[in-house]
Structure 1
Amino acid sequence: MTEMDLPPREAQKQRGGVVSQKAGGKKEKGPTPEEAIQKLKETEKILIKKQEFLEQKIQQELQMAKKHGIKNKRAALQALRRKKRLEQQLAQTDGTLSTLEFQREAIENATTNAEVLRTMELAAQGMKKAYQDMDIDKVDELMADITEQQEVAQQISDAISRPVGFGDVVDEDELLEELEELEQEELARDLLTVGDKEEEPPIELPSVPSTHLPAGPAPEAGEDEEALKQLAEWVS
């Protein structure tokens, strides 16, 4: 049965139901975490002021009960009843405030965690973008090329530092054999010339003069000259 076949009243109800479903299906945008935290803080301030007010009222009722005491028992009991109701309200306010504080802290922690996750996601994307043009095979090839070039450079350095000879290359073993032959010839020559050497005449030392200088007072100038003259004659 279509809408045209329904009575006017039923068709109107059906159209109204469809409209209400469309209107109800549209979700309203909720507050952001920052807005929720701000709203919770404002409510906490209100509850704190209410706590202070209730505490003052409790003290007033307590003073009122003490004031009347046994003089006006009825007024004292009414003051105590009001005090009891205020204490109940204060306890409820304390519980509500604790709940709001817990909820606010939970939202703050959730906001912090969400921000950390977004930062980590951005970091991961940045790292992925940094390595997107890199291939592990190309990296291995590059490192292999670097190693090869280093080996070539080391070989070049070794070749440059190696002493270079001019002319034909001489075998060092032949040089050692030739040196040994020269040493043998020199040794044989020394052995042959040992017996031919003439003995050198001994060195003649001058004889000690037998003349004894007379002991006595120190000689004068003439005596010194005479002694020098005798010494010169002996030496010649």
Structure 2
Amino acid sequence: MWSWFGGAAAQKRKDAPKNAILLLREQLDMLQKREKHLENQMTEQEAVAKKNVSSNKNAALAALRRKKVHEKNLEQTQAQIAQLEQQIYSIEAANINYETLNAMKAAGAAMEKIHNGMTIEKVDETMTKLQEQQQLSDEIATVITSNPPGEQLDEDELAEELEGLEQEAMDERMLNTGTVPVADQLNRLPAPTNAEPSGSKKQAEEEDEEAELEKLRAEMAM
């Protein structure tokens, strides 16, 4: 029950500016109609004065007096219109300020509820934890990719096996074409068993050359 009365009172306070503005606008409409009527009366009395200015001065003066009365009433009416317009403007501005303030209060309450228990220190702590977890995840990924599971193979052994396969493929191509690589021919020649010293070999070659020269000289003498 108390909440119902509180709600009704709040609604009444909310409707008060609207009701006041409606009342002021009704009064303003009535005054604007009076203003128009007085302007018409002044125009009529001025016409009467102009009509009787030559023939009936008393009637012309009376018309001018009535015009002056209407003019005075018109000034008062216009002043009242100005006051009502100012009041309407003031109420509208005050109501806008009131509604704006209430909206700002509601926004502040919502933000307070969202930030309930949240502090700069807690935010920094959370961000630090996230960065640590991200760094840990990157390190784990690096370890996994650099150390794949299973037995590690010997790279030298693989290179040697690859070289053997290449040699076999080359031999097979040479056999199919009927030629033997020079390198293979050299490899297949028997290695010398008693190689002469380089000096003895050179001396023997020189002696052979001398013998050939002597033989050539003898043939030419003949």
TM above 0.5 = yes
CA separation of 1:72/1:149 partners in 2, compared to 1, >3 Å: closer, same or farther? same
Q: 1:123 deviation in Å?
A: 0.6
Cα deviation 1:171-204 (Å, max 9, x = unaligned): x9xx7xxx9xxxxxxxxxx8xx6xx9xxxxxxxx
Aligned counterpart, 2:27: 43
The separation in 2 between residues aligned to 1:79 and 1:51, in whole angstroms, is 19
Identity value in percent: 36
SS in 2 for 1:32: helix
- TM-superposition CA deviations, 1:46-94 (whole Å, max 9, x none): 1011111101111111121122121000100110111122112112211
Higher percent of residues as helix: 2
Partner of 1:128: 112
Say whether residues 1:119 and 2:103 are aligned partners.
yes
Deviation string for 1:86-113 (max 9, x for gaps)? Answer: 1121122112101110111011011001
Deviations 1:143-175 (A, max 9, x none): 1111111111111111122154866797x9xx7
Distance 1:160 1:67, change over 3 A: same
Change (3 A) 1:143 1:72: same
Paired position in structure 2 for 1:182: none
2:53 maps to 1:69: yes
Match of 1:102 among 75, 86, 89: 86
151 and 66 in structure 1: CA distance in 2 versus 1, 3 angstrom threshold: same
**Structure 1 position 60 matched with structure 2 position 59:** no
TM-score (norm 1): 0.56
Aligned residues: 157
The Cα offsets for residues 200-220 of structure 1, whole Å up to 9 and x where unpaired, read as xxxxxxxxxxxxxxxxxxxxx
> Structure 1 regions of 5+ residues with no counterpart?
1-29, 180-189, 197-236
Q: Which amino acid aligns with 2:46?
A: L
Change (3 A) 1:147 1:63: same
Moved over 3 A (4+): 163-170
RMSD of aligned residue pairs (Cα, Å) = 3.3
**CA shift for structure 1 position 136:** 3.0
Is 1:34 aligned with 2:30?
Answer: no
For structure 2, which runs of at least 5 residues remain unmatched after alignment? 1-12, 161-182, 190-222
Equivalent residue of 2:91, what SS?
A: helix
Matching residue of 2:177: none
